[in-house]
Structure 1
């Protein structure tokens, strides 16, 4: 008889699935607490879901044996929204897309976009300066507007400042809708049927149209030669590369593929960074000593100027704060793959057709790797405390060939934003408000993160 990983018995599965639908994080915590770092949930004869929670499991699935695993069935509803872009595609199509786009996200190339990032943060800070001291803002919405501005200017040469509110609410609606569809059993059969039988699908269509209209305008403006503030020279940005891309037969990307690629980077490029920044300001508001150290570093290293490439290595605590925020609240909180071939992970068998889940949210909080894993402690990312730690104990951008292509872009973006905001403002959470995670495609705060803006005098 084949060895099986520990897990619930058949009569326990309905209750477990109900909890997974209502509270996925609690469900995972309870399951791992009861059965250990490896759990198998049998869902059908010959098919199961496996939960793997250790860094070496992540390394095996995402790096060492990545060719044995493809995008999981849970990506199907996402394809209904963003199409077959780099996040949702697989196989030969994914390989072509990756070859086309990878050079645009090299560290050297992304550094040329830094002035556009700085200009976007300056525009937001100038808006804040016109408000009375003590104004209350929704940090999640504010960071979404900022990162949308950055993505529009740096990747698509477009001014999206007028689209902030509509895009923010459209993304929220679509994430909620995708999550509902994933929880619908019909997802296993037909994602389109699942969407039509999930509550709120009409709002889904309206939100998707909002995004598509913005993307269509961006393409049309480029065709007409229009540009957003500080646009890169022709041929330099992502949109230019997509418009110039050619298949082996010399044909250009068809309109549908062009749309899918733009929507993918349009959404992924701003949503995850916005979520990271919002959680970071929340965590800093609860840790006065960590925030004071951040302010001291920013004032000393930058002396009032924007952060340049030469400052990145000096902003050690700034980067540690952001890494600790990504550890506790990874925007991409779970990574799921379907096994294309039989395998063995950590000594436990995985059969072709099984789904494996490696959640960064749990890997980042594994008590065997992280001391006091629930605590906000940026010092754990300082060099002297990071030595010897598995690189796959911290996987906010995934890993291996399928790791996030935009990680260099995102890290420069959030360092620039955090440093420049800290130079001029403190954000304090309103008394009595405690944000909780909202589990959708990304790990957003459940409610508006109301914070008070206070001007700093360095």
Structure 2
């Protein structure tokens, strides 16, 4: 006789509004709830609505892999992002998503990544030289500096270096302004857009994005690039019927790539520099590997790929502070997750932050330990206990690009300078669509 599924746990909250106040500090709230109810599915009340928080790797496997077709991106938290990214790979569903995936997947193969890595290295070296001018100078905000660096890198890999810089800067600023407004709207998805701040700026920024990318596509069609960039590769792809991408699809994919290559890597590097400063033994091992593998040689795709310990440090930064810290899905039909009943239409959340800090999986989860990612230790864990780029068929196809970009920035900058946290500066995570330091990251730069 089959057991009746359990009702998800509903923690006590404020009258009428439930856990809504805690959503202003959502990672801490989710972690607290998961710690009090390990292995359970938790219904988090948000006033007029609720979300179902999963807390176990097996839950993630059910939602993201085993029954992924039932868990779509039609959850209301995704609606604001569609205003921004349209029907790109991040937000598309069904046949549209499958076509997009098949078209774009080859762009991130090893051959293409090697060519893109050469462009990344060129820009990263320039950015490292720029930041070297701040050595022994006034404090900088590493968060803002990493946004600038990754923005330049992703623009170069997307559009090359032959297009007007003023035009590219206007596009980048419009994307960042839009993303800030979308961040707010995703967490407060139950509030009408017009009642939230930044609606006028959002509309203006979206118009700028549309006009800018249309102009860039037209210019590239008139004048091909000297070497392949992502726009050139996207223009060249054809589906099984020989059809190219429409201008609208090109726009949506380029916006998606810009955010994935800029925002998430910038956050990764910000947290990584903080973690290395706070953990001198790890920092010493990172520097020792940079010296042993690179020495004074120029950076190349080959020697970057040989940085094993540095790669593990990036992976551990992704564990502790995953840039994308939650994955919302909509249950199209009623389901059972970990023995708990999920009603049709429910918003189900898999939180990387919760999974990556689960003490039953990770010993001393608040300790920065890159050796967690030695192969023999990885084999002992569920593959769904560590999912910084999601998992299952919808896993981010740019994961290798993102790790490669982070390694290149680390190698270019860390062998030139040391970054130290300004004494007294408070570092706490703030969650919206992504997870970044609430007050930025004030640091000073010093000679190696």
| TM-score between the two structures when normalised by the length of structure 1 | 0.87
Whole-Å separation in 1 of the counterparts to 2:367 and 2:11: 34
Q: Is 1:376 the equivalent of 2:368?
A: yes
1:258 maps to which of 250, 254, 261: 250
- Structure 1 residue 368: deviation in Å? 0.3
2:279 matched to 1:287? yes
Distance 1:202 1:354 in 2: 31
Q: 1:397 to 1:340 in 2, by over 3 A?
A: same
Which of these residues, 83, 99, 102, is aligned with residue 99 of structure 1?
Answer: 102
Residue range with higher mean Cα deviation, 215-224 or 249-258: 249-258
Q: CA deviation at 1:145?
A: 1.8
SS of the residue 1:7 aligns to: coil
Q: Distance in 2 between matches of 1:160 and 1:386?
A: 45
CA displacement at 1:168 relative to structure 2: 6.5
Cα distance 1:132–1:167, how it changes in 2: closer, same or farther (>3 A)?
farther
Partner of 1:62: 64
Q: Tell whether 2:331 aligns with 1:332.
A: no
Asked if 1:208 is matched to 2:206, the reply is yes
Could you list the per-position Cα deviations for residues 113-172 of structure 1 after superposition, in whole angstroms to 9, with x for gaps in the alignment? 221111011111222344553343221222122222222222332458657876676455
1:58 and 1:358 in contact (8 A); partners too: yes
CA deviation after TM superposition for structure 1 residue 256, in Å: 2.5
Deviation, 1:22, is 2.2
CA distance in 1, matches of 2:44, 2:24: 20
Among candidates 132, 136, 141, match of residue 144 of structure 2 = 141
Change (3 A) 1:454 1:206: farther
1:345: Cα distance to partner? 1.8
**Residue number in structure 2 paired with 1:76:** 79
Within 1, Cα distance between the matches of 2:291 and 2:283?
Answer: 12
Q: Secondary structure at the match of 2:120?
A: helix
Cα shift readout 1:160-185 (whole Å, capped 9, x = no counterpart) = 86578766764554333223323446
TM superposition shift of 1:6: 3.8
Q: Which residue of 1 aligns with 2:263?
A: 271
Shift of 1:81: 1.4
TM-score, structure 2 normalization: 0.89
Name which of 210, 223, 226 aligns with 1:225.
223
- Greater Cα offset, 317-326 or 385-394: 385-394
> In structure 2, which of residues 34, 40, 44 is the aligned counterpart of residue 32 of structure 1?
34
SS in 2 for 1:113: helix
* Aligned partner of residue 357 in structure 1, secondary structure: strand
- The answer for the alignment partner of 1:191 in structure 2 is none
Q: Which residue is equivalent to 1:53?
A: 55
**Count of aligned pairs:** 442
Partner residue in 2 for 1:154: 157
CA-to-aligned-CA distance 1:296-332 (integer Å, 9 cap, x gap): 1101111122443443564222111111110011000
